[in-house]
Structure 1
Amino acid sequence: MKFRWTSVAWSIAYLLLLLSLSTPLLLITTLFMIIPAVVLFTTLNTRQFILHVLPVLLIVGLITPVYILIAVFFLIPSLVMGRWYRKRASAMSTITAGLVAVLGEFLLILLVSSTVFHFDLYTYVHDVLQTYTDWLSTLGANNPLLTDITISADQVREMSWLTIQVIPMTLILSAFIMAVITHSIVRPILNSMEYAVPRLKPAREWRLARAFIWYYLLGVVLSLLFGGASSGFMLMISANLLPLLQIAFKIQTIGFLFFLVHERKWTKVVALLLAIPVIVLPGFWVIGVVDLAFPLRELVKKSKR
């Protein structure tokens, strides 16, 4: 086995990450849970991979049996991304595969929870928000500075509905962030192990398909037609489509800024500084729309001549 000791180290890291689920660090370590299994699956054959992962699952099962289910949840996208790395697929293809795998599991859990266990997501969200508002009320009763904080039952119900409406966007972003973090860390690790995998295109080459403009126009129309509804499937689509597209256009804007800096031969620090307000502040994503609709990059090239 070429990477025997390295593989053992990654198995131990995998075990420690799973055990961290019982600590306050779980909010952070969950983002990195896919990484060890991806490295092991990519660099080992199937038999070796099983020999490394099975003891980890047995130890976790003996300590906390329910964690085996969580381990399996993260193991599936690990196998998917590892399979793509084995095929030397493009970086974007691998990230997309990981995103789809994680998102598919999220949706499957919601489906099974609601149909088999009769889990009511709205009731759960409402109870959590009600508990939080009750805590704020209690805190306000004991603190004169917080006596003005009052949240009515109607407001709690409204916040519950709004939370439910944006859950699809939250799940998509969570899956995307997890896949991107995994690739960002796994790729240099695999390269250091002499297992080269494709990298993402440089930021200056990031470009969306022109069809995204039509998607945005569709989102605007849906928002105008169904934005005032109190509930419904179309409301959920309109509440999630536009924010997701705005995030996509932010990525397009960052790509344009890196392209501009590259063409002007400025330092990359300038591009990073310009990207910060695009990420943090609203409105700058419009540059991405303009870049997609009009040949801005060609104009930049012409102006340089």
Structure 2
Amino acid sequence: MPLQSKRLAEIALLLGIATALLILSTYTVAGVFTTLLLPLPFVFLGRRQSGSSIVWSIVIFTCVGGLLAGIAAAMMAVTVAIWGAVMGKIYAKSESAIPAIFAGAAAVFLGYLAILALSAFVFGVNLNDMFQRATEFKPPFMPQEQFDQGIQFVKMVMPAFLVLMSIIQSVVTHGLSRLLGWLIKSPVPALPPIREWSFPRSILYYYFICMISILLMSDEWDGSFWTSAVFNVKVMLDVVLTLQGLSFCLFAIHLYNRKVLAPVLIVSLFIFPPLTTILSLLGIFDLGINLRKRLETRVKRG
């Protein structure tokens, strides 16, 4: 088969798979699972095809989505297609998975913003109205004032939530791409083990600045831009420090050769959510006083 025909056949096959997944995601309960698989055809399309072929594939897929299920499906189609293609293109050019994950997260986040804008300006769906309707689901045992404060806080940290969700979705796509790449003998770059993760020490300065701002201005929070900005940065830094603490624990487990404890720790995070506070403190100490280096030196000394 000529090379051009082979490329066209591959594009047609991947678009067919993507369309089938889009139909399942739109019209069936299997969409809970198939939505996670939607970017994968475009990840491999991005890795193997030229830029013009990718653009035309995204256009065709978006039009098919619009014809099948209207503008909502078209928006989902263009978002997952760009998301997967961006990750695939960076996989093809880089030996590290990190740039692809962050580029994919950026594409997902922009997709969220586009969907919110479309909902507001085309369908007239107001985000504030949605939060207002949430008051109908207040638990009977919760005081109204406490519930209102919770809703206000969720509204305030919505940008941080969208950023974190975008990163999580990109990481999930990376994991599925790795699995599929292994199955079809087309390996995808791997992330370094979590025990080797370490964030810049400067994160501590930003964290303490946020904490001091919250303490000094706690009586003046009024939902302004700066209030929202500080809380959003604080939420994201909490997640980063928790990951740093988790990395330290896994490093210690690996150092002491107690590998059976690693899955126990991961599962415990889901069973006991307050454990994240302890991990966050460990992350602060690890960055602040280089805790893992001290531990490694102590173990080597016996």
Structure 2 residue corresponding to 1:297, chosen from 283, 292, 295:
292
The Cα RMSD (Å) is: 3.1
- CA 1:236–1:76 in 2, change beyond 3 Å: closer, same or farther? same
Equivalent-residue separation in structure 2 for 1:18 and 1:226 (angstroms): 48
- CA deviations 1:266-304 (Å, max 9, x no partner) are 3x2212223444563242221111111112222222222
What is the number of equivalent residue pairs in this alignment? 289
SS in 2 for 1:180: helix
Match of 1:261 in 2: 253
Match of 2:67 in 1: 62
For the pair 1:18 / 2:22, whether they are aligned, the reply is yes
- CA deviations 1:59-103 (Å, max 9, x no partner) are 433321221222012222222212211212521111111112222
Structure 2 residue corresponding to 1:181, chosen from 148, 172, 177:
172
- CA deviations 1:245-279 (Å, max 9, x no partner) are 1211121112112211222223x221222344456
- CA deviations 1:138-182 (Å, max 9, x no partner) are xxxxxxxxxx55875x67654442231121121011101110001
Equivalent-residue separation in structure 2 for 1:184 and 1:93 (angstroms): 14
Structure 2 residue corresponding to 1:288, chosen from 283, 292, 300:
283
Match of 2:35 in 1: 30
Equivalent-residue separation in structure 1 for 2:52 and 2:110 (angstroms): 26
For the pair 1:71 / 2:77, whether they are aligned, the reply is yes
- CA 1:55–1:259 in 2, change beyond 3 Å: closer, same or farther? same
SS in 1 for 2:198: coil
Match of 1:144 in 2: none
Equivalent-residue separation in structure 1 for 2:227 and 2:214 (angstroms): 8
Contact 1:102 1:175 in 2 (8 A): yes
- CA 1:26–1:223 in 2, change beyond 3 Å: closer, same or farther? farther
Uncovered stretches (5+) of structure 1, i.e. residues with no partner: 137-147
For residues 159-170 of structure 1, the aligned pairs below 5 Å read 159-170=150-161
TM-score under structure 1 normalisation?
0.80
Uncovered stretches (5+) of structure 2, i.e. residues with no partner: none
For residues 1-305 of structure 1, the aligned pairs below 5 Å read 10-19=14-23, 20-46=25-51, 49=54, 56-66=61-71, 67-110=73-116, 120-126=126-132, 128-132=133-137, 158-228=149-219, 229-266=221-258, 268-278=259-269, 280=273, 281-284=275-278, 285-304=280-299, 305=301
Equivalent-residue separation in structure 2 for 1:276 and 1:61 (angstroms): 41
Q: Look up the equivalent residue of 1:291 and give its one-letter code.
A: D
Q: Displacement, 1:184?
A: 0.9
Equivalent-residue separation in structure 1 for 2:201 and 2:282 (angstroms): 14
- CA deviations 1:226-245 (Å, max 9, x no partner) are 44423111221233222221
Equivalent-residue separation in structure 2 for 1:80 and 1:234 (angstroms): 33
Equivalent-residue separation in structure 2 for 1:167 and 1:28 (angstroms): 24
TM-score under structure 2 normalisation?
0.81
Equivalent-residue separation in structure 2 for 1:292 and 1:105 (angstroms): 34
Equivalent-residue separation in structure 1 for 2:124 and 2:217 (angstroms): 28
